[in-house]
Homo-oligomer: A and B are copies of this chain.
Amino acid sequence: MVSKSYKAWLQYEKIETVGIRNAYIKQLGNIVLPAEISEFAPAIRELKVAIRAMLGIEPVVSERPSNPSYFRIAMASGEEVEQLGSEGYRIRASRVDAGTCLTLVGGGTSGLIYGVFHLLRLIGANEPVSELDICEKPVSQLRMLNQWDNADGSIERGYAGQSIFYRNGQISERLDRVRDYARLAASVGINGISINNVNVHKTETAFITPGLLPEVAKVADVLRAYGIRLYLSVNFAAPIQVGGLATADPLDAAVQAWWQETAKAIYDYIPDFGGFVVKADSEHRPGPFTYGRDHADGANMLADALAPFGGIVIWRCFVYNCMQDWRDRTTDRARAAYDHFTPLDGSFKDNVILQIKNGPMDFQVREPVSPLFGAMTKTNQMMEFQVTQEYTGQQRHLCYLVPQWKEALDFDTHAQGEGSYVKRVADGSLFGAKHSGFAAVSNIGDDDNWTGHTLAQANLYGYGRLIWNPELSAQQIADEWIRQTFGNDDQVINVISRMLMGSWQTYENYTAPLGVGWMVAPNHHYGPDVDGYEYSRWGTYHFADRDGIGVDRTTNTGTGYSAQYHAINAEVYGDAVKCPDELLLFFHHVPYTHRLQSGKTVIQHIYDTHFEGAEQADDLQKQWFALEGLIDSARYGHVRERLREQAQHAKQWRDIINTYFYRKSGIPDAQGRTIY
């Protein structure tokens, strides 16, 4: 018996309103399928499963219509082929003799899958289908999930159990859970999954060898059915570690030959293999620097190996000095990616994509957009988000991240004048990139509900939907997700929607203030520790003293990071008066008495947001209580427990942060609330 938690947003609950159900039955009771499309294709199977569940009927599948109204499915032909592309689809209702013909045309098998899921989403929301005229294709090319899963079954930064891909050092024998994951991913348009951690350990280094490729290929087979390509994270030192060579120098002929043979072997087993994800010369991972080469040398060598087969190299830009001395204020980790990569603009092969984290640091609750977006006009780029909530509550706290991602996508880089939005970099249109798109660190594991916190399913869902079309609003995505996950009850929708939409701001309120980031316990990154990263080697400082706080990243007196943005942004960020409040401490060191644009002082803002955030967290619980009886008790009870923990933990955050700053500043709360 599959639980509701497990079904996530593919509940396919039976439609209880007879009139609505009958209208759907009339339209979908007869599926008209051409011979070229198998009744057992995943798209058709999904459709039939859903019709059975939601409408309570067994649909009649025929080659010609057998009902007055029917649902016709076809593959694109003629000019539609180019119009839709392999991932697009059209859903259109039209009057025929005695009824209505609903037609779904898929640009390819992927388009068909996406079209079916779109239609099912509408049915799940009880939307009428008799007037549909939809034509969709994804705005972004590469829509990817990065699993940080390890062969030993652990997941780096995983908060939902163990890996579904691996067990005891091997690829899982049973891949049914991977298949269910692929289905969930495909339902929101994901078309690529890298199945192993970017920190590639010993066993995983050998995934690209003939000994293990047959196992990897089995995973690829499962993903392929849902239109998802398999990618592998590779170890740059693989030629040494599994190739028996003495070097991994990218300019060494033997190394190049080894990667070429390796690529060939991979494609023998996995003809549609997506390519390599590479974390090189980052946090002690091997890379081209060892041999006096640069990132382009390294990436291009791999790109040459994959090019004959259509594969790509996804090269991560998360490169910085992770052995920094906190005493050295001239080095600024935020600068690192830009400083490393912009000089190389134009030198990467066209099947290389640089994967750039949304912000310059590391998935903090609040960061500016990475200035690399908009800085490299001749280089393929993709955006990296983190769906797993490493720094945003680890799926014990509710934090719906779509609003955060949306803000990043809507940031105007001004690279080509006004309107040079980040989303136009990520969709490849701004600079006419050959490859572009999105990757995100997944938040799933083998917990029954996939994501630890059931409401964290919304982040996985939302990631897929948002990158399919960055014009969707966070609210709209939340609404879709709630209806599919918990049904169409207005109160349920209103309550959960309000909870989701406010949750990022709430989390920001009670954690690190005004964009300064960090302030978490080292290593595991859970819970408050204001100085946890203050005297460390990670380049993550707030410089709070008795007078003020923040990092001066301006050009005149600071690290000069603000100048990595185009003029108009550089000017705003570089000026403590103009800088948006929420990023003030990221760019400026100011006194606690500095007055924000909001009119409050920095210290009073800290107190106010922390009291408010803890209250909001408490309020999340209370809102949820109103849903008792309106949703199933298993999910209700589970979420209630998480929210209870969050509310309690938010108070801990509030008190530690407030006490820390009160002890340091000596400035009392204007409202005289309790600070310890």
Q: Is A284 an interface residue (CB 8 A)?
A: no
Q: How far is the CA of A659 from the CA of B545 in the complex (A)?
A: 9
Known: A655-B327, A656-B535. A666 touches B528 (CB 8 A): no
Known: A528-B535, A530-B531, A535-B656. A663 touches B327 (CB 8 A): no
Question: A656 contacts which chain B residues (CB < 8 A)?
Answer: 535
Within the complex, which residue of B529, B546, B652, B665 is in contact with A531, where a contact is CB–CB below 8 Å?
Answer: B529
Question: A14 contacts which chain B residues (CB < 8 A)?
Answer: none
Known: A529-B531, A535-B528, A535-B656. A327 touches B666 (CB 8 A): no
Q: How far is the CA of A660 from the CA of B531 in the complex (A)?
A: 10
Q: Is A82 an interface residue (CB 8 A)?
A: no
Question: A665 contacts which chain B residues (CB < 8 A)?
Answer: 546
Q: How far is the CA of A652 from the CA of B326 in the complex (A)?
A: 10
Known: A531-B530, A535-B528, A656-B535. A664 touches B545 (CB 8 A): yes
Q: Are B327 and A546 in contact, with the CB atoms below 8 A?
A: no
B-contact bits for A662-675, CB 8 A (1 contact / 0 none) = 11111000000000
Q: Are A666 and B530 in contact, with the CB atoms below 8 A?
A: no
Majority-rule SS of A interface residues: loop
Within the complex, which residue of B326, B521, B546, B662 is in contact with A663, where a contact is CB–CB below 8 Å?
Answer: B546
Q: How many copies of this protein are present in the complex?
A: 2
In this complex, the member of A521, A659, A665 whose beta carbon has the largest number of chain B beta carbons within 10 angstroms is A659
Q: How far is the CA of A532 from the CA of B529 in the complex (A)?
A: 8
Give residues of chain A (516-570) contacting chain B, Cβ–Cβ below 8 Å: 521-522, 528-532, 535, 544-547
Question: A40 contacts which chain B residues (CB < 8 A)?
Answer: none
Question: A666 contacts which chain B residues (CB < 8 A)?
Answer: 545-547
Q: How far is the CA of A327 from the CA of B662 in the complex (A)?
A: 14
Q: How far is the CA of A545 from the CA of B660 in the complex (A)?
A: 8
Q: How far is the CA of A521 from the CA of B536 in the complex (A)?
A: 12
- Residue of B with least CB distance to A326: B676
Give residues of chain A (628-666) contacting chain B, Cβ–Cβ below 8 Å: 652, 655-656, 659-660, 662-666
Question: A664 contacts which chain B residues (CB < 8 A)?
Answer: 545-546, 663-664
Which bucket holds chain A's interface residue count?
A: 20 to 34
- Residue of B with least CB distance to A327: B676
Give residues of chain A (308-335) contacting chain B, Cβ–Cβ below 8 Å: 326-327
Q: Are B535 and A659 in contact, with the CB atoms below 8 A?
A: yes
Q: How far is the CA of A663 from the CA of B546 in the complex (A)?
A: 6
Question: Min CB distance, A290 to chain B, in Å?
Answer: 25
Q: How far is the CA of A546 from the CA of B664 in the complex (A)?
A: 5
Q: How far is the CA of A665 from the CA of B544 in the complex (A)?
A: 12
Within the complex, which residue of B532, B545, B663 is in contact with A544, where a contact is CB–CB below 8 Å?
Answer: B663
Question: Min CB distance, A633 to chain B, in Å?
Answer: 31
Question: Min CB distance, A223 to chain B, in Å?
Answer: 40
- Residue of B with least CB distance to A530: B531
- Residue of B with least CB distance to A521: B522
Question: A659 contacts which chain B residues (CB < 8 A)?
Answer: 535
Question: A535 contacts which chain B residues (CB < 8 A)?
Answer: 528-529, 652, 655-656, 659-660
Question: Min CB distance, A583 to chain B, in Å?
Answer: 23
Q: Are A531 and B528 in contact, with the CB atoms below 8 A?
A: no
Q: How far is the CA of A1 from the CA of B297 in the complex (A)?
A: 52
In this complex, the member of A326, A532, A546 whose beta carbon has the largest number of chain B beta carbons within 10 angstroms is A546
- Residue of B with least CB distance to A528: B535
In this complex, the member of A532, A535, A659 whose beta carbon has the largest number of chain B beta carbons within 10 angstroms is A535
Q: How far is the CA of A652 from the CA of B664 in the complex (A)?
A: 22
- Residue of B with least CB distance to A522: B521
Q: How far is the CA of A494 from the CA of B182 in the complex (A)?
A: 72
Question: A655 contacts which chain B residues (CB < 8 A)?
Answer: 327, 535
Question: A545 contacts which chain B residues (CB < 8 A)?
Answer: 662-664, 666
Question: A660 contacts which chain B residues (CB < 8 A)?
Answer: 531, 535
Q: How far is the CA of A674 from the CA of B662 in the complex (A)?
A: 27
- Residue of B with least CB distance to A651: B327
Question: Min CB distance, A226 to chain B, in Å?
Answer: 43
Q: How far is the CA of A662 from the CA of B547 in the complex (A)?
A: 11
B-contact bits for A496-525, CB 8 A (1 contact / 0 none) = 000000000000000000000000011000
Q: How far is the CA of A583 from the CA of B312 in the complex (A)?
A: 65
Q: How far is the CA of A663 from the CA of B592 in the complex (A)?
A: 14
Q: How far is the CA of A528 from the CA of B536 in the complex (A)?
A: 10
Give residues of chain A (475-490) contacting chain B, Cβ–Cβ below 8 Å: none
- Residue of B with least CB distance to A657: B535
In this complex, the member of A544, A545, A660 whose beta carbon has the largest number of chain B beta carbons within 10 angstroms is A545
Question: Min CB distance, A546 to chain B, in Å?
Answer: 5
Q: How far is the CA of A231 from the CA of B190 in the complex (A)?
A: 62
B-contact bits for A451-475, CB 8 A (1 contact / 0 none) = 0000000000000000000000000
- Residue of B with least CB distance to A666: B546
Question: A521 contacts which chain B residues (CB < 8 A)?
Answer: 522
Question: A652 contacts which chain B residues (CB < 8 A)?
Answer: 535
- Residue of B with least CB distance to A527: B535
Q: How far is the CA of A662 from the CA of B532 in the complex (A)?
A: 18
Q: How far is the CA of A575 from the CA of B664 in the complex (A)?
A: 27
Question: Min CB distance, A542 to chain B, in Å?
Answer: 11
Question: A522 contacts which chain B residues (CB < 8 A)?
Answer: 521
B-contact bits for A610-635, CB 8 A (1 contact / 0 none) = 00000000000000000000000000
Q: How far is the CA of A194 from the CA of B61 in the complex (A)?
A: 78
Question: Min CB distance, A26 to chain B, in Å?
Answer: 63
Q: How far is the CA of A440 from the CA of B466 in the complex (A)?
A: 62
Question: Min CB distance, A236 to chain B, in Å?
Answer: 30
Question: A326 contacts which chain B residues (CB < 8 A)?
Answer: 676
Q: Which residues of A contact B (CB under 8 A)?
A: 326-327, 521-522, 528-532, 535, 544-547, 652, 655-656, 659-660, 662-666, 676
9 A-B pairs with C-beta separation under 8 A: A327-B655, A327-B676, A530-B531, A535-B656, A535-B660, A545-B663, A545-B664, A546-B665, A664-B664
Given contacts A327-B655, A529-B531, 11 further A-B contacts (CB under 8 A): A326-B676, A327-B676, A529-B535, A531-B531, A531-B660, A535-B655, A535-B660, A544-B663, A545-B662, A546-B664, A546-B665
Question: Which 4 A-B residue pairs are closest in the complex by CB-CB distance?
Answer: A545-B663, A327-B676, A546-B546, A535-B656
